[in-house]
Amino acid sequence: MKEMTSKERIDAVLTGQPFDRTPFALVDCGAWTCQTEGVPYRQLYSRPDSGAASIVKWTDEFGTDIVSGVAGVFTAWLNAFGCSIDIDKVGCSIDTGSCIDDPDTQIPQLDKSKIREMLEANEFAMNMVNQCRHVKELIGDRKYILVDIAGPFTVAAMMRGTEAFMLDLMMKPDLMKQLIDFTTAASTEMFRMLHEVGADIALPAEPVASGSMISPKMFKKWAAPAIQNLKDNLPEYKYFFAHVCGDSGNRMKTLHEIGVNAFSGDYMVDLDQALTDGEGGTIMMGNINPAGVLMTGSAKAAYEEACDRIRIANGRGHILATGCDMAAETPYDNILALAQACKDMAAND
């Protein structure tokens, strides 16, 4: 088979067509980019292009088939709704604080009609839009642009505070439904703004919906309907992915029913079982351990783990990727090893 372009390769994998090799992607590389360049997020996003040139540079060097449009700041846009953000640490994720301490009073006052206005008035939210715009200008039509921001369930947890949110799901379910209705609209609007400047793939990240945090029953009751509503609200996107952290392989069947194109799964997910559960519609994206072999192992170990994942997939729909955010301290050669594995395994077929 002749060599495909990155877009052709992604299209083929997602539509069940033959492909020349397993595609390669990174689930975010914002913290790594800041660490490598020695700058905090504030400085990266304060550049005229909001750091887009750096994102494109590194992902091109690594040979990824997808490029991130909003690197490393998946909850930072919640600053528009009153959440505090700490963006001054080099090599760390954004620290986002809660903004609802009196849910009985504050949640009924949330106004969906003002979401766009609030986002457009927020400097950091607009810096994210600016980065995506400049990524599109630099990448053109070479690769699909993926934008990963917090999904509705996680946004609700961040705004309320995760521990309080979990208690309120049991004690104040009607109020939490109202909050999730607002956060679904908020996530929708942020994704729309990113699509308007060039994003092709929406990826809501739902760490709070992890199998390590809530049961499958709670996932189906609370998180899944919000993801479904978000997907239905975003028909303009070429593809719709979803990321759920932790031991979340039991989410695959539900995500498949929703119509998610790709499940971005953590290293704890059984890749073979997830591929089976999603067969006929939802592929797997993952699931190299970012804090294990990729960060602390050798390039040879990272290469072997990548080859192992490709063997397990055995031609089924799979995008080789980190199982979650790439750690800031990840060795450069270890990342290159993942891309090399995709090329070598195709050559050995």
Residue 189 maps to a domain = yes
User: Cα–Cα distance between 129 and 327 in angstroms, integer?
Assistant: 24
Residue 160 maps to a domain = yes
Residue 1 maps to a domain = no
Contact 210, 245 (CB under 8 A): yes
Q: Domain range for residue 165?
A: 6-347
Structural domain count, the chain: 1
Read off the tokens for 18. 């033959």
pLDDT of residue 349: 60
Count the alpha carbons within 13 Å of 267 in the hemisphere toward its beta carbon. Answer: 15
* CA distances for 176 relative to 117, 164, 212, 254, angstroms: 23, 11, 21, 21
Residue 128 maps to a domain = yes
CATH number at residue 107: 3.20.20.210
pLDDT of residue 203: 98
Residue 177 maps to a domain = yes
Tell me the sheet residues that pair with 331: none
Backbone conformation region of residue 229, classed left if phi is above 0, alpha if psi is from -120 to 50, else beta: alpha
User: Cα–Cα distance between 201 and 103 in angstroms, integer?
Assistant: 33
Residue 341 maps to a domain = yes
User: Cα–Cα distance between 240 and 256 in angstroms, integer?
Assistant: 11
Contact 59, 23 (CB under 8 A): no
pLDDT of residue 93: 77
User: Cα–Cα distance between 318 and 333 in angstroms, integer?
Assistant: 23
Q: What share of the chain is helix, strand, coil (3-state, %, to 5)?
A: 55, 10, 35
Tell me the sheet residues that pair with 205: 150, 243
Read off the tokens for 121. 């008035």
Count the alpha carbons within 13 Å of 333 in the hemisphere toward its beta carbon. Answer: 6
pLDDT of residue 347: 66
Classify residue 220 as exposed, middle or buried by CB count within 10 Å of its CB (0-12, 13-18, 19+): middle
**Tens digit of pLDDT at every position of the chain (349 positions):** 899 999 999 999 999 999 999 999 988 889 999 999 999 999 999 999 999 999 999 999 999 999 999 998 999 999 999 999 998 888 777 889 999 999 999 999 999 999 999 999 999 999 999 999 999 999 999 999 999 999 999 999 999 999 999 999 999 999 999 999 999 999 999 999 999 999 999 999 999 999 889 999 999 999 999 999 999 999 999 999 999 998 899 999 999 999 999 999 999 999 999 999 998 899 999 999 998 999 999 999 999 999 999 999 999 999 999 998 888 999 999 999 999 999 999 866 6
Residue 205 maps to a domain = yes
Residue 256 maps to a domain = yes
